[in-house]
Every structure is written in structure tokens, then in C-alpha cells.
Chains A and B, each alone.
Chain A
């Protein structure tokens, strides 16, 4: 406060720097968003405009979305993807919550060994697993009560045991203070009641992260669904979109509409949860 001149000096520099900073940040944001802008703009064009040089449609053609939806059978694929996500998530969350609770709060012989063996599977690249898992799933479908290929089990069951979710939840469960458990035990509550009455209500944030990450993972998966579905019955939206892009070819106004349709659910979820989302990404990332 006593060095007035110096302060104004530094202020003028930081003002110039501020303008530069904003300029760079705006350019970055523009590049990040440019493909989206182009996609939305093209999806509202007529075919002639889309193949021509226009950057914006003369009049927005909203019926493109209806046509893309109809042509790509998106109503079918949307339902498929939603079902796959729901089944996977319900299994994954249930199993992970129980396993993470045991790993975090119960002492039993072999706990660290089992957990570390399970954790080491994160290192294994998917390409090593995809062939034997395909053989396993085919085998299970042949001998089991229901077929697995072209059906929900092959698309969901292998993803229900997720060590990533267990790891994330375990980190969180371990932070619940021991005093709470002691108090609950005095009140006569066992592990189950403690888990459902105390731990889970405290763990909304990590559960949210698991829900969102698994949702995105299921929505994005391509290689495995391509492998285990060969009819549209259970094919998810990712494979549906890929096939539509191949089929529609030069009808790019329709493919862009289709691409945008598949992005919308993810964007909605992202905007509602972005705070927890980026935070947990940063935290899980730094922990490695």
C-alpha cells in the first residue's frame, strides 16, 4: 500500500498479460469447440449445403435429426445401450460396494494379497484379454441356460467386476472414522447395517463418479460389442453409429446429426456432474 508507483507498474504489466492470457484461452476453447460447432451446423444443413462450401445453413433443417434417428434405428440402439448400461451398472455398483467395504474395513487373512493381485490386472492390456474372454463367453453361452453371444450377458457380466471402482470406493470407505463404526457396534449394528446406514450415505461423491465413468465407458465401448453382437438385437449405440456412418456415406448432414444424438446424453451428464467429475479424475490420476 505504501509503494503506490510500483503497484501501478505491475498492474499495467499484468493487464497486458491478462489480455494475452484470455486471447490464448479463447483460441484454445475455440479449437476445442470447433468440431462441435461444425457438427451441429452441418447437421442442420441440406445435403447440397453440407457438400458445398457453406459454413452455416441458410435455414436450419431440424428434420435431419428425425431422419437420422429413423434411418439409423437409433430408438433400438438407444434402448439397447441404456439396458446394457443399467444392467452393468447395477451389478458393478453392488459388487464393488461390498468388495470395497470388506477390503477397507474388515481384517481377514489374505486381504492385501487378494487386493494386490486384483489391482495388478489393471496393467493388462485389453488386447491380451479380448481373445480368451471371447472364447470363455462363447463357451459359457453354449453350455449355459441362455446364450451369451448376441445377448445381454456377454455385454454386461464381464464388466461387473471392476477393480477400478473397488479401488476408488475403498480409498473413500477407509476414510470413514473408526469411531462411527464403534458407535454403531454399540448400538448393535453389524457390518451390513453400518454399510447401508452410515457408509453409503457418506459416499455419494465416489458413487456418482463410478456411475458416470461406467456410463461413459459403456457408451464408448466398441471392440467388445462388435465381437459379441452380430445382429441389431443387443447392439449398442456405438456400433450402431459406426455402422450408420459406413452406410450413410456421403449423407454427411445425417451422419453429423447421428453423431450429435449420441453425444447429447453424455454431455448432459457431464454438465450436471462436471465438478465431481474433474475433481475425481484429478485425484485418481495423481494417486496413479
Chain B
């Protein structure tokens, strides 16, 4: 009786209208959400799965962290260890947050622990099912080989795959956990009527999730490290993972402490206190830096391609981002004046950015050709300089300049290869217009009164720029530098066009190394592991940048 009235209520009246509204919304977002999920979120987990396997076109054995170990050496274990510790630290933060919330509202949220725990179990059960079901579902593609397309009854195969030995129990556990958690969640909401009830449940769930991930990751890492030690001891060598973990942890701690002291030094009242803090901070920072300084050596012990790829990417970032930012801030300040035709200049500067990169790369390839009659070589000859091989030149720029003056430089000072420099030039040429347009928008946001006031006070053009315009543009500068650096890590198309065997891989950035490993060497598992290393680098850069932006950027 009661149920019927509930049903009736839910299809008529206000409740019914609201349900219809929800349904409309879900139908509206369904196609886009499914596609974003299938090709944007699911692949991350899939890639993680692939990266833990030996996988050459078809799936091989599960080999744990070995792919990562091959790529970055022992750093793989160190980072996995740190991620585990980080998850445990997250647990502390969540507990702290819950306690704060509890104190603020004088709640007694402990009942919410139960649904929180069950939610965690549900999520883990889902991933357990995912882990077992994925290979079975993937294998359907091999089962249908040789069948006519019309004959394939996909539903049958899928049912068969999902009923496989390990998969069905995992699915049942998941369903059970889901039902239990929903039931307990609703029950607790009845028992303890509080607006924040569900928030507490979610926080507890997140806390338990972080706890289980942390413990799981630590256990997994310990097992992997033990395995690595076993292999190494059998070969009679010492992998030395633990000393590295300890020294790098100490280094990170020292850096953190040094940074805190540095920040506190700024707020010291007395001069003596300031210098003391600064000195202590410097000592800590240098110590931490020395301990962390081992990281490059560890990576260098991994795959040489990764190390070289990272170096080339670093050159690419350092070569493009500062140059294009300087040029574009300069151009945008010039364009911002009231000039006849400034709009035309803006349109022209933006053309390289919209031009298909493949076409413009093909043009640069010919302009910087190694022929003596190619335009750039002709230009060099007009200046009385020797013609260059440009994109075919693996030697470093600094080496070449030194050679021209009859000197030699050590290998570590060689700089980016000449081939890479052409790519850097092309990148600067492409992106100056884009950065200029964004700087122009940033300039438009600066209140005109500020400039006028400064000019009334007798500030010169340069002083206005240095003390008003440039600081007020800092959000734009940070945004563009982040986009630029991440862009150099992601860049693919143009470098692929510019790439030639004669350059001996001196133009292969990390992205290229990953793609070649995947596309030409067909080592899917290893390439996925490297892609995750790239992902980690990009995430770290973004986080560091956000931190700096939070404390250093002036928002007008």
C-alpha cells in the first residue's frame, strides 16, 4: 500500500516532474559521456594494465613493475614506494578533515564509518572484477577469428567471457558489496538524520580507499623489490634499492624543511633572525639537493633512450618556451598601442599557428635543407659562414660554434643538436602568434588608470613595463609557460616529420621515444610504462606550477 503510493507519487506531481528532469539530463549527457569514458578514462586503466605486462601486439605474462624498472631503473621502485607513503599521508589528511568537520558542527559521525568501509569494498571489488574480466573480454577478438562477420553473435561471446571461471565470482562479490553498501548507507541515513551524513560517508570511503591503496601499493612494492634483490643476488650484484629509497626520502624531507624555513625567513622581524633562517634554509636545501642528486644517475642506469629522450625534451622546453614568451610579450606590448593596422599584424602573426603543422614542417625541411643552394645555407654563405647540414646534423650547436672558432668543448656542453635547433626554431615560429594573442587579452585586462597614474608620476615606458605591466601579466605568463612546457612534452607531429635517421635520434623527444617503441618496435607494455612516466612528469610539473602560481603570481 505504502509502496504503491510512493510509486504513484514518483510519476505524477512535483516528484515525477523532477524524475523526468533527471532522466532528460542523463539521456542528454549519455552519448558524450560514454565516448569520453570509453576513449578518455577507461584507457588510463587499460594502459596501466598493459604496462604491467610483457605485451608485444598480444598480451604476454604479467611482469609487475619490470617495464618501469627497465625504463627508469631503480627509480621505479622508489617512486612506487613513495606513492604508497603518499596514499597513507592522504589518509591522515582525510582524518584531519573529518575531525575538523566534526568539531565545527559538533557531530558524532562514527556511524558513517560502516557505509564508508563498504563503499571502499565495492570500489575494490569493481577493480578486482575489471582485472579479471578484461583479459577474457579481450580474448573474444581471437575467438571470432575465421568467423564470418554476420555469424558473430557478440552477446553470446560476451556472456561466455563474463561467465568465465574467475570472472563470475568477482562480479558476484561486486554486486553483493554494492547492494550491501547502498543498503547500509540508506539505513545510516535513517538512523542518524544529518545533512552532512552522506559527506561523512564519502570522506570515510575516500579514507579507507587511500588506506587500502597505500597498504596494497607498499606490499606490492616490497614484493617487487624483494624479487629484484633475489634476481640481483643470484647474479652476484647488489641492486642497492633500499639505500636509494633512504637517501632520496631524506633529500625530499630536507628540501621540504628548507623550503619551509625559507618561507619563514621572509616573515622574521629581526635582521639576525632573517639571516639565520636563510642560512639554515640554504644548508638544508643544498643537503637535500645533494641527496636527490642521485636521481639522474638512477635514471641513467635505466633505458638510455628514456634518458636521451628526457634530455632532448629538456632542450626543447628550454629552447622554445623562454624565447617565444619574450618575443610575444614584446610584440603584444607593441601591438597594444593604438596603431593603424595593428589588427592586420595580429592576423598575420597568428597564421603560423593555424597552418597545418605538417605542411609548415615540410616547408622548413626544405628551407633548412642540407643542399648548398637551400635558402638558409645561401643566407649563411652571404654572411661568409660555412653551409650546414641542418636536419641531418647530430652534433650539438655549441660544439659546432666552437669548431668554427677552432676550439673543442666537452661532450656535456654540446647543447641541442643542430637538427633539434631547427625544430626549436619552427616551434617558436609557430607559437609566437598564439602567445601574442593571449598576452594581448591579458593586457586588455589591466586597468588603464594604473598606467596613466604611473606616467603622470613620471615613469618611463620601460619603468611602467617593468613595474606595472609585467607583474600584472604574471598569471598569463605562468599559464603560457605551463602550456608551453607541457606542449613540448606532448609534441609529436612536427618532430615526426622533421625526424631523419641522419640525426641519430638527437631529435627524439620523450613522446617520440614512446611512439617509436609502440609503432615500430611493437612493445606495447614497455611503451605504456614509458607513457605513464611521461604522465607522471606532466602531473608533477602542473602541480609545482600551481603551487608557485598560488604563492608568487600577482592577480590584479
Nearest opposing residue in chain B for A142, CB measure: B141
Least CB distance, A239 to chain B, in whole angstroms: 9
CB-CB < 8 A to A216: which residues of B? 354, 356
Nearest opposing residue in chain B for A219, CB measure: B356
B46 within 8 A of A: yes
B345 within 8 A of A: yes
User: Contact: B354 with A270, CB < 8 Å?
Assistant: yes
User: Contact: A139 with B25, CB < 8 Å?
Assistant: no
Which of the 9-residue segments B312-320, B446-454, B531-539 touches chain A?
B531-539
A252 within 8 A of B: yes
Which of the 9-residue segments B32-40, B251-259, B409-417 touches chain A?
B32-40
Nearest opposing residue in chain A for B137, CB measure: A139
Q: Specify which of A94, A242, A281 is in contact with B358 (CB 8 Å cutoff).
A: A242
Looking at B25, B364, B511, B539, which has the most chain A CB atoms within 10 Å of its CB?
B25
Nearest opposing residue in chain A for B441, CB measure: A282
Q: Specify which of A21, A25, A33, A222 is in contact with B496 (CB 8 Å cutoff).
A: A222
User: Contact: B50 with A29, CB < 8 Å?
Assistant: no
Interface size on A, residues (CB 8 A): 98
Complex alpha-carbon distance, A95 and B44, angstroms: 23
CB-CB < 8 A to A121: which residues of B? 36, 40-41
CB-CB < 8 A to A136: which residues of B? 38-39, 42-43, 46
User: Contact: B31 with A99, CB < 8 Å?
Assistant: yes
B218 within 8 A of A: no
User: Contact: B40 with A282, CB < 8 Å?
Assistant: no
CB-CB < 8 A to A89: which residues of B? none
Complex alpha-carbon distance, A195 and B489, angstroms: 40
Interface string of B436-459 (1 = CB under 8 A from A): 011011100100000000000000
A106/B24 contact (C-beta < 8 A), A38-B375, A128-B44 known: yes
User: Contact: A274 with B347, CB < 8 Å?
Assistant: yes
Least CB distance, B533 to chain A, in whole angstroms: 10
A285/B479 contact (C-beta < 8 A), A53-B378, A143-B157 known: yes
User: Contact: A128 with B518, CB < 8 Å?
Assistant: no
User: Contact: A274 with B367, CB < 8 Å?
Assistant: no
Within 8 A of B (CB), among A94-143: 94-96, 98-99, 101-103, 106-109, 111, 114, 117-118, 121, 123-133, 135-136, 138-139, 142-143
Nearest opposing residue in chain B for A40, CB measure: B363
CB-CB < 8 A to B331: which residues of A? 24-25, 28
Complex alpha-carbon distance, A41 and B369, angstroms: 16
User: Contact: A160 with B35, CB < 8 Å?
Assistant: yes
Complex alpha-carbon distance, A157 and B36, angstroms: 10
B326 within 8 A of A: no
Which of the 9-residue segments B79-87, B267-275, B333-341 touches chain A?
B333-341
Q: Is the interface of B mostly helix, strand, loop or mixed?
A: helix
B359 within 8 A of A: yes
User: Contact: A241 with B362, CB < 8 Å?
Assistant: yes
Within 8 A of A (CB), among B293-315: none
User: Contact: B542 with A118, CB < 8 Å?
Assistant: no
Complex alpha-carbon distance, A18 and B154, angstroms: 71
User: Contact: A125 with B535, CB < 8 Å?
Assistant: yes
User: Contact: A123 with B358, CB < 8 Å?
Assistant: no
Complex alpha-carbon distance, A262 and B363, angstroms: 12
Q: Specify which of B35, B352, B527 is in contact with A32 (CB 8 Å cutoff).
A: B352
Complex alpha-carbon distance, A238 and B362, angstroms: 11
Least CB distance, A114 to chain B, in whole angstroms: 7
Within 8 A of A (CB), among B158-177: none
User: Contact: B339 with A22, CB < 8 Å?
Assistant: yes
B144 within 8 A of A: yes
User: Contact: B24 with A163, CB < 8 Å?
Assistant: no
CB-CB < 8 A to A202: which residues of B? none
A256/B24 contact (C-beta < 8 A), A216-B354, A262-B359 known: no
CB-CB < 8 A to B138: which residues of A? 135, 139
B140 within 8 A of A: yes
A52 within 8 A of B: yes
6 further A-B pairs in the complex, CB-CB below 8 A; given A25-B335, A158-B35, A256-B366? A98-B28, A118-B33, A127-B531, A131-B50, A143-B152, A190-B24
Interface CB pairs A-B, < 8 A, 18: A35-B367, A36-B355, A38-B375, A53-B373, A98-B29, A111-B25, A118-B40, A128-B534, A136-B39, A143-B152, A158-B38, A161-B38, A166-B32, A216-B356, A219-B356, A222-B496, A262-B358, A282-B441
Residues of B bordering A, CB below 8 Å = 21-22, 24-26, 28-29, 31-36, 38-44, 46-47, 50, 138, 140-141, 144-145, 149, 152, 154, 157, 330-331, 334-335, 337, 339, 342, 345-352, 354-360, 362-367, 369, 371, 373, 375, 378, 429, 432-434, 437-438, 440-442, 445, 476, 479, 483, 489-490, 492-493, 496-497, 511, 514-515, 518-519, 524, 527-528, 531-532, 534-535, 538-539, 542
